[in-house]
Structure 1
């Protein structure tokens, strides 16, 4: 009985426990940066939402890696890791649609919804260990959210009150 319980909680992951923690907390930090920008702008999906999206996406990626390792025998199991990307993107698209509002002829929340999608992508890339892609995506996402807003304001495209 004790041996069964011990084996249940032993590290069976295709990555070491250190890498596992690094990937999960890395997703939280990188997606938290995206969420912080949204939080500063007082948008509905801020730090916690983006961190949770990144956490979920990285966990789904790690689970998929484990499934490929455990059940990846091509003779007995047909696995398609691309389904992971499809499932995460459609799930986050559902959440993002919830923050998009059409009121008085104006659409609001599109950028926040898009930032949620970016957080999911960052979480997935961290979960499978593609750190360079995740870091570049985070930096690029912040540049798009922050720098382009500044350019829009400078060009008079958007006012100071616009998110």
Structure 2
């Protein structure tokens, strides 16, 4: 029965990652982005799970043998590499000098993995603060940056006036 309570305590990190990653995913979903609610939740909870599993393995087996080496930093590197690979699939570079698309989606997935890692380490204040910063960046700053682009696009679409 003690194992059940221990595992339920470990689930706290996954549940926190679920909620915080879901907030980021919800923001992306509202804008109709390809990586939305479910994708961000899966990335965040998976990152938290890998950290919780690595931490559990270290605690369980670290004293058994000097030959066995555990490296939580290696797990973090693997999470970053895996999510970066996933993010790379979200980036599309245009032909003929068009700008790349999907960079914010890729960065958002990496940010969400960071939130998941923090939750897996039970650093809930840090994870919540980072989530708020990410939401501010994606939301308010995103709209602020989009305004000049909309004005420029509207100006480019206007028919050119001929001089009198």
* TM-score under structure 1 length normalisation: 0.83
One of 6, 28, 33 as aligned partner of 2:18? 28
What secondary structure is seen at the aligned counterpart in 2 of 1:108? coil
CA shift for structure 1 position 10: 6.6
Match in the other structure for 1:122? 115
How many residues in Structure 1 have an aligned counterpart in Structure 2? 149
For structure 2, the residue ranges without an aligned partner over 5 or more in a row are: 154-164
Asked whether 1:136 is paired with 2:129, we answer yes
Q: More helix per residue: 1 or 2?
A: 2
What secondary structure is seen at the aligned counterpart in 2 of 1:106? coil
Distance 1:152 1:57 in 2: 30
For structure 1, the residue ranges without an aligned partner over 5 or more in a row are: 1-8
Match in the other structure for 2:86? 95
Cα deviation per residue 1:86-129 (whole Å; 9 max; x = unaligned)? 00000000000011111241211100110000111111110111
Match in the other structure for 2:28? 38
Larger radius of gyration: 2
Distance 1:111 1:31 in 2: 15
Aligned-residue RMSD, C-alpha: 2.1
